[in-house]
Structure 1
Amino acid sequence: MTSAGTAVSRAEPGPAISLGAALATATAELAAAGVEGARRDARLLLADAAGLEPAAVVAWPERPLAGPARATFESHVRRRAAHEPVSRILGRREFWSLSFALSPATLDPRPDSETLVEALLAEVGDRQRPLRLLDLGTGSGCLLLALLSELPAAWGLGIDRAPAAAAAARRNAAALGLGDRAAFLAGDWAAALDGRFDLIVSNPPYIARDELAGLDPEVARHDPPAALDGGPDGLDAYRALAAALPRLLRPGGVAALEIGSGQAASAGAVLTAGGLPAPRLLSDLAGRPRGLLFHASSAGTPL
């Protein structure tokens, strides 16, 4: 895939090459472009183009790659060399061992956000109870749908300001067989909501506006700005949550909110000033502060 070869391949795919040769060439090209995990990414892109599982790409190195499959693979590699995330190229991301389709309106789910799912599930004593769940800023629906996949009698509502994001989450729910237990609405988060919920989860925008330009290009160029921009100090979304959560979280309920780097104290102060109790800090697998867990009044029925 030299520059000359690339120019030809855009017009017409070249002759067949083996999967092994395609993998080796793409790995070298991605490494030269400064892509970390070049071989891993090349294998995933090749598997998608060839219609195979990633393990089969390595197991069958002599299998030919030709025609539209080769053209698709070369296009994938060009995009990855330009530092477009693999998940955006493939249009999907695995989260909580579930596959989520992405759209330009949805944040690309990160594995670290699974910390919120784990923390909330640990609070549920009886997973067969018909709990009510709320996801504010739902995006692809990954947090809500991951929770519903573990709580078979629960029902959940996801809200996002972007209609296209709510539509993407609705499609993901249907694809995962959870559409009958989840609803997704476009709106200004909790402004028009009535009723109370047992579990509330949110991964809100929390990047301070003057820090957006310094984000990794794979984030800044491909995640929707509205899902990143937390206002001048990164705390605007937490102020909105502080105003809404005390009336939406039922007594005995639990809320888990993701936070950005260095925000544990500032976000916690905003939320407790709004009437929430002092939170428990949640750390991700790397030991970094990742979220805040709030317990409503213990006067309600335990989860």
Structure 2
Amino acid sequence: MIAEAPTVEDLLSRGAARLRQAGVGTARLDARILLAAVLGREPASLLPGETGSVERETERRYAALLGRRAAREPVARILGRREFYGRVFRLSPATLEPRPDSETTVDLALECLGGTDHILDVGSGTGCLLLTLLAERPEATGLGVDISNEAAATAAENARRLGLGNRATFRQGDWLTGIEDRFDLVISNPPYIPEDEIATLMPEVRDYDPHQALAGGGDGLAAYRAIFAEAGRVVSPRGRVVVEIGCGQQDDVAGIAAANGFDLAKTAADLGGHMRAMAFVTAG
């Protein structure tokens, strides 16, 4: 006797149960997103109790994605893309996965921008910071640099997909080394996790985000020292430096900035109420 093909609800329920057993906290949501992906539908279109049958090949593809998620691979890594500020960005193994906290950094940067500003994104990853700013400020232009050639290529692809390739350039670079232009805004979400804390991170972060995009040296502040040591050379006289920070790092980052001739201008808290982004101006 041939078993009946499973329904959408069958697969959702089984998938959620499998992910819960694996310790995934967002089991039902993730199961829905993955099933929608193999069905070629939007997650919101999968209705509770939906009884439409699903082909066996689709079931097998879904099971394969569930297996990856049960191994704690993030949904965005499985799908190869992540939404950020209302736009979709492609990921690669060399790029940090964009997260909602970084939208706070974008909001603060937008407060600092004029219409035709020139922007530098240091440690650009997917390009989500620079490309979002350019999309929100249609007359602005920018350069993104990343230590990884693969990350720079991923960001350039995202720029082309979003129709921003004519205003954004991405290249390999080691922080601000070799940059000669002047910029109205320097922005960065640098690695800020102390090296000895990496092992304590959730497996979705520890095992799938690139180590060099997470680890900020022994105290988590190495990148800020590198950025502010050179920022005075590349930021315009009335320009801003906007950086994302980890929880509790605001005093240390402000101190590093001050030691290099920058004053704190503005801050912004994330959705959890933690200070997440800081904007600096040249002192005096």
Pair in the same fold by TM > 0.5: yes
**Superposition pairs of residues 241-280 of structure 1, within 5 angstroms:** 241-280=227-266
Per-residue deviation, residues 235-267 of structure 1 (Å, max 9, x unmatched): 110110111111111111122101112211112
- Aligned partner of residue 280 in structure 1, secondary structure: strand
The percentage of aligned residue pairs carrying the same residue is 46
Give the TM-score taking structure 1 as reference length: 0.89
- Shift in Å, 1:60: 8.1
Shift of 1:279: 4.5
What is the alpha-carbon distance in structure 2 between the residues aligned to residue 162 and residue 15 of structure 1?
Answer: 49
The alpha-carbon distance between structure 1 residues 33 and 249, as it changes in their structure 2 partners (threshold 3 A), is same
Aligned-pair Cα RMSD in Å? 1.6
> What does the per-residue CA deviation read over 1:35-70, in whole Å, with 9 as the maximum and x for residues that have no partner?
112111111010001111112222782222224322
Answer yes or no: is 1:142 the counterpart of 2:128: yes
> Do the aligned partners of 1:230 and 1:236 also contact (CA within 8 Å) in 2?
yes
Q: Which runs of 5+ in 2 are unaligned?
A: none
**Once the two structures are superposed, what CA deviation does each residue of 1:195-219 show, in whole Å capped at 9, x if it has no partner?**
2111111000111111111111111
Q: Distance in 1 between matches of 2:94 and 2:263?
A: 33
In the other structure, the counterpart of 2:188 is 202
Q: Distance in 1 between the 2:217 and 2:56 partners?
A: 48
Shift in Å at residue 281 of structure 1?
Answer: 2.8
- Find 2:167's aligned residue among 173, 181, 186: 181
Q: Alpha-carbon deviations, 1:144-169, whole Å to 9, x = none?
A: 11101101011110000000000000
Structure 1 residue 295, shift from structure 2 partner: 2.3
1:292 counterpart = 2:283: no
Query: Residue 277 of structure 1 contacts residue 295 of structure 1 at CA under 8 Å; is this kept in 2?
Result: yes
Deviation for aligned residue 1:34: 1.6
Cα pair distance change 1:261/1:72, threshold 3 Å: same
- How many corresponding residue pairs? 282
8 Å contact from structure 1 (residues 136, 201) kept in 2 = yes
Q: TM-score, normalised by structure 2?
A: 0.95
Q: Partners of 1:15 and 1:257 in 2: how far apart?
A: 55
Deviations 1:94-141 (A, max 9, x none): 0001001110000011100111110111223x5xx3210110000000
Aligned residue for 1:75?
Answer: 64
The separation in 1 between residues aligned to 2:186 and 2:228, in whole angstroms, is 13
Once residues 285 and 107 of structure 1 are traced to their aligned partners in structure 2, the CA distance between those partners, rounded to angstroms, is 20
Distance in 2 between the 1:268 and 1:107 partners? 24
Matches within 5 A, 1:95-244: 95-124=84-113, 126=114, 129-244=115-230
Quote how far apart the aligned CAs of 1:16 are: 3.1
